[in-house]
Structure 1
Amino acid sequence: MYRLSGFRFLLLSFLLVCVPPASAADEQFQQWVKSFRKTALANGISPQVFERAFAGVDSPDQWVLDKAGYQPEFKAPVWQYFDNRVQQRAVRMGRAKKKELQPWLNKIQQRYGVNPNILLAIWSIESSFGAILDNETVIRSVVRSLATLAYADPKRSKFGRQQLLAALQILQSGDVDEKHLVGSWAGAMGHTQFIPTSYQAYAVDIDGDGKRDIWNSVPDALATAASLLSSNGWRSGETWGYEVTIPKGKLPAGTLTLREWEKLGVKRVNGRTFPRPDDKAELKLLAGRGGPAFLMLKNFSVLKRYNNSDRYATAVGLLADQIGGGKGLVRDWPRSFTPIDHAEVQELQKLLKARGLYAGEIDGKAGSGTRRGIQQFEKSIGVEVQGYPSEEVLEQLRQHR
């Protein structure tokens, strides 16, 4: 007879006690909902709003927990992060949207002083100009998602409760109904992806229909993004940063004026001058000395209030510059392969999928799933395994159809 070791017996006993079957888990979730109802009503939520919000929400969303617990196999290389966000397709769409929405963008800029190109870049990066809002696999009920995090994710339970209460307050305000209160697994909502508390702080009804509708009104969504930036110190008429060249040798850390940086040998690319040499700036080398260098200004730190990431703020700035007619970086991100554009990445993904090596969306973004598929393909044909979305790999896939 097979006997469990002492350790395995204890482990199995622990799992049987601590991991209830699905039906029991649902009952426990319903008990949690009843308990949270008391909290909601004590914070001014009406019983009717609460009942409508939780109608049909009878169990946690396992997909949300899977997303919350997902850990990438590897941290995205810097080139991958920017290639997936600052692409010619995004530039073309940004320019087209700029023409389409010019009157609204002018109105938003007049009110908040934020460059329209920045707002278009945020819209692109946050929701691919609203395309993700039609993707039912990634857009879910905000109430259920946040209740799931509050109930079942110890790391995010406080966040989940706080945001869930704010979501119920949004419903009670009448800006949106429970059917349309949808967002990401973490509750980020609308075209410009605001969590409920940020929505409460910054949401704007610029189209004048009486609702702050960041889900269906692009003007409201862009004005809400501008409201956030303006409230956090955006400097109208100024840029976010400059690409620069740097001299050999050590450079000081911290903030100096552009004039002081220039005296140290840090120059703007293409021989351009700094329009306001007394502006203070910080040197950023996101890929080390082998990649592009930047002097970041005040507006860069304001962009980080949207997402506290140097990569994110830089991507917004670079994409905004190109939407506005700029030519892109003078010095590319360091890489050991020939890059391909958005349409070619889509072709690569289709060819990988045809071989059963990729199961994700054909989205032109070379994420971890695409790179895994490339690695498996490279291994199958006996070449060095790198996993890069390169011109060389695409050509090999075409030859091995």
Structure 2
Amino acid sequence: MSKFIKTTIISAGAAVALAFSVLPAAAQDYRGCLAQLRSEAASKGVSGRTFDRAMRGVEPDLTIFDLMNNQPEFKTPVWDYLGSLVDEERVSDGKSAMRQWAKAIASAESRYGVDRYAIVGVWGVESNFGKNLGKRPLLQSLSTLACYKNRRQSYFKGEFMATLRIIERGDIDPSRLTGSWAGAFGQTQFMPSTFLRLAVDLDGDGRRDIVDSVPDALGSTANFLKKAGWVQGLPWGYEVRLPRGFDTSLAGRKKKRAVSSWASMGVTRVDGRSLSGNYQAGIIIPAGINGPAFLVTKNFDAVYSYNASESYGLAIALLGDRLRGLPGIQAAWPTDDPPLSRAERRELQSLLNARGFNVGEPDGMVGAKTREAIKEIEKAIGLPARGRAGYKVLDALRRAR
């Protein structure tokens, strides 16, 4: 049995043990839990017929618990996270998508007063402009999270109920309700409760459909950002240069002060130009004082609220800037092992396959098989075995050809 297979079995076994060791007190098995959920759904306007049809044959998916504890926007170094989401390939794809859907984008922007590049930035980060919608059935994922104890069980039960209400209303066919392990779905990955509150029918066909209607997805995202506090005409922020000896206790997204106050401390734009503007902003340093720094406004907060992660918010903001024609991050990240673009990750996977690791079809997505193979290369070249897809591993594989 290979090391990878052993690791996978141990990991899967741990997930099962975790799930079954903490069954909710009110339901000793999944079916018993579903019976309770069916009764609760009826009180929320979901018919028994809808529930039974939707849940026929659904079984729990216990692999979710591993995914819950390994969310990339919180576990991955910020330079790796941004490197995979804001690369030349995605910028090129985004420009093509903006040309194709120019009318819908303009309509969403004008109706809700949200900058088009922020809207398209969300679209690009969340689903790669509709190419990656997620394949996990929402009802399976959310019923599992609703029935097995976890730190957000009550929240996921609410999202399960919201999914049933979407089906009851007829906005989206149940077979199209697939997405992430946590239940986010559609072109711009709304949670079901968010869909019920904020989805809009921008294309005017009488249905709110963020899965198969790009206009509805873009309009819904614009509506989300507006309700999250987006201020028309205000920038999200920009990269800045901090003065020597900058007090890092002043940094923080919530520690906003007048831009003029930051300017008086010696903060400048990254190219050395003076700060300008009559608004409040904070400064974030996602990789610490030795990495890039950004001045951020209320509009960054609106984007942040989409997923409550600064790395995520930066990915959307920076992708929007690149689509606008602005340059990428200018300051260097504090690492001697630069991140890889998706094209470079695909190259790395091809090289791993050529060495007999069998990591699957090169797709630029660093999954378990790719990480395990990388660990072997890291050990061979004297690096800690972390499974990180960085330049040093790629360079070693290139030189070994």
Q: Is the 8 A contact 2:126 2:187 kept in 1?
A: yes
Q: Is the 8 A contact 1:80 1:366 kept in 2?
A: no
1:365, CA displacement in angstroms? 4.6
1:331, CA displacement in angstroms? 0.7
Q: Deviations over 1:253-294 (max 9, x none)?
A: 232211111111001122434452x21111111111211111
What is residue 67 of structure 2 aligned with on the other side? 67
Q: Does 1:38 align with 2:39?
A: yes
- Supply the distance in 1 between the matched residues of 2:311 and 2:21 (Cα, whole angstroms): 39
- Supply the distance in 1 between the matched residues of 2:242 and 2:67 (Cα, whole angstroms): 40
Instruction: Go from structure 1 to structure 2 and tell me whether the alpha carbon gap of 1:366 and 1:265 turns closer, same or farther (over 3 Å shift).
Output: farther
- Supply the distance in 1 between the matched residues of 2:197 and 2:321 (Cα, whole angstroms): 28
TM-score, with length taken from structure 2: 0.85
Q: Does 1:218 align with 2:218?
A: no
1:358, CA displacement in angstroms? 6.1
Equivalent runs, 1:61-100 vs 2, <5 Å: 61-68=61-68, 70=70, 75-100=75-100
Q: Does 1:243 align with 2:244?
A: no
Instruction: Go from structure 1 to structure 2 and tell me whether the alpha carbon gap of 1:27 and 1:391 turns closer, same or farther (over 3 Å shift).
Output: closer
Instruction: Go from structure 1 to structure 2 and tell me whether the alpha carbon gap of 1:312 and 1:177 turns closer, same or farther (over 3 Å shift).
Output: same
1:121, CA displacement in angstroms? 1.4
Instruction: Go from structure 1 to structure 2 and tell me whether the alpha carbon gap of 1:361 and 1:196 turns closer, same or farther (over 3 Å shift).
Output: farther
- Supply the distance in 2 between the matched residues of 1:144 and 1:368 (Cα, whole angstroms): 22
Q: Does 1:116 align with 2:112?
A: no
Q: Is the 8 A contact 1:345 1:389 kept in 2?
A: yes
Partner of 1:62, secondary structure, is coil
1:156, CA displacement in angstroms? 3.2
What is residue 205 of structure 1 aligned with on the other side? 201
Instruction: Go from structure 1 to structure 2 and tell me whether the alpha carbon gap of 1:119 and 1:367 turns closer, same or farther (over 3 Å shift).
Output: farther
Equivalent runs, 1:99-248 vs 2, <5 Å: 99-133=99-133, 138-248=134-244
Instruction: Go from structure 1 to structure 2 and tell me whether the alpha carbon gap of 1:219 and 1:259 turns closer, same or farther (over 3 Å shift).
Output: same
Aligned AA (1:96): S
Instruction: Go from structure 1 to structure 2 and tell me whether the alpha carbon gap of 1:113 and 1:33 turns closer, same or farther (over 3 Å shift).
Output: same
- Supply the distance in 2 between the matched residues of 1:273 and 1:82 (Cα, whole angstroms): 27
Partner of 2:239, secondary structure, is strand
1:139, CA displacement in angstroms? 1.4
What is residue 9 of structure 1 aligned with on the other side? none
- Max Rg structure: 1
Aligned AA (2:268): K
**What is the CA RMSD across the aligned residues, in angstroms?**
2.6
- Supply the distance in 1 between the matched residues of 2:67 and 2:51 (Cα, whole angstroms): 26
Instruction: Go from structure 1 to structure 2 and tell me whether the alpha carbon gap of 1:101 and 1:257 turns closer, same or farther (over 3 Å shift).
Output: same
Q: Show structure 1 runs of 5+ residues with no match.
A: 1-14, 21-25
- Supply the distance in 1 between the matched residues of 2:390 and 2:37 (Cα, whole angstroms): 51
Stretch moving more, 86-95 or 362-371: 362-371
Partner of 1:287, secondary structure, is coil
What is residue 7 of structure 2 aligned with on the other side? none
Q: Deviations over 1:104-154 (max 9, x none)?
A: 111111001111111111111111222222xxxx51221121111111233
Instruction: Go from structure 1 to structure 2 and tell me whether the alpha carbon gap of 1:327 and 1:367 turns closer, same or farther (over 3 Å shift).
Output: farther
Q: Is the 8 A contact 2:292 2:332 kept in 1?
A: yes
1:204, CA displacement in angstroms? 0.7
What is residue 272 of structure 1 aligned with on the other side? 273
Q: Is the 8 A contact 1:146 1:163 kept in 2?
A: yes
Aligned AA (2:162): A
Equivalent runs, 1:315-334 vs 2, <5 Å: 315-334=315-334
1:374, CA displacement in angstroms? 2.7
1:213, CA displacement in angstroms? 0.4
Q: Is the 8 A contact 1:79 1:333 kept in 2?
A: yes
- Supply the distance in 2 between the matched residues of 1:67 and 1:41 (Cα, whole angstroms): 31
Instruction: Go from structure 1 to structure 2 and tell me whether the alpha carbon gap of 1:272 and 1:75 turns closer, same or farther (over 3 Å shift).
Output: same
- Supply the distance in 2 between the matched residues of 1:115 and 1:32 (Cα, whole angstroms): 44
- Supply the distance in 2 between the matched residues of 1:76 and 1:19 (Cα, whole angstroms): 29
- Supply the distance in 2 between the matched residues of 1:338 and 1:19 (Cα, whole angstroms): 41
Instruction: Go from structure 1 to structure 2 and tell me whether the alpha carbon gap of 1:194 and 1:71 turns closer, same or farther (over 3 Å shift).
Output: closer
Of all paired residues, the percent bearing the same amino acid is 38
What is residue 8 of structure 1 aligned with on the other side? none
- Supply the distance in 2 between the matched residues of 1:358 and 1:385 (Cα, whole angstroms): 22
Q: Is the 8 A contact 1:357 1:376 kept in 2?
A: no
Instruction: Go from structure 1 to structure 2 and tell me whether the alpha carbon gap of 1:358 and 1:117 turns closer, same or farther (over 3 Å shift).
Output: farther
What is residue 12 of structure 1 aligned with on the other side? none
Q: Is the 8 A contact 1:291 1:333 kept in 2?
A: yes
Aligned AA (1:295): L
